Structure 1
C-alpha cells in the first residue's frame, strides 16, 4: 500500500498515538506530501508539542509506535523545535492528517 494511503487509512490511530504523547495538529510533509517518495523514503510528520516542557522522548516514542503501525520508517518533529527556515519550508508543503 502506498505511504499516503497508509497514512489516510490509519488517520484515527495516528491521532490517538500523537495525543497520547501530548502532541496535536499532525501534518505530513517531505517526499510523501510532494508525491515523490520512493523505496528509500521515510514518512515525515510535523506535530505541535511543547518540547521545552515535555522533552524529546515523546517524539522518539511516537516515531517508534508509528513506525510499527505503518511498517515504515517514521520521523516525527515538533514544530516548536525547528529553526525558522526549516519550519517555514516544512509548513509550505505540510498537509494536515
Structure 2
C-alpha cells in the first residue's frame, strides 16, 4: 500500500520517467488522494501529455506499467478527456497535482 504523500514523493523524484513519456502533468485522485486507501486499493492517476506528443495505446500502457512498477501498486491511469462527464468535476476538484 502506498499513501498519498509517499506516492507523490516517488512520482516527483522520477521526473526523467515522466519526461521520457512526454508527460505534461500528473495528478493523483480517488481514495489515495483523499487518504482513504486500504491495503487492496489501486492508485488513480490522471495524465496529460505534451501538446503534439504522439502517444498511442502501447505508449500509454507502457507508462501505466512503469508507474505500477515504480509505485508497487496497481495504477489506474486515465486522461481528463476520458473522464465520465458526471464524475469529471469532482475528480478534478479532488486531484492532487504531482508534476
Q: Which TM-score band applies after superposition, normalised by the shorter structure?
A: 0.7 to 0.9
Unpaired segments of 5 or more residues in structure 2? none
Deviation >3 Å, runs of 4+: none
State how far apart, in whole Å, the 1-side matches of 2:16 and 2:82 are. 22
Unpaired segments of 5 or more residues in structure 1? none
What TM-score, normalized by structure 1, do the two folds share? 0.80
State how far apart, in whole Å, the 2-side matches of 1:46 and 1:35 are. 17
CA RMSD of aligned residues (A): 2.2
What TM-score, normalized by structure 2, do the two folds share? 0.79
Aligned residue pairs: how many? 95
Greater helix content: 1
For CA contacts below 8 A with separation 6 or more, give which structure has more relative contact order.
2
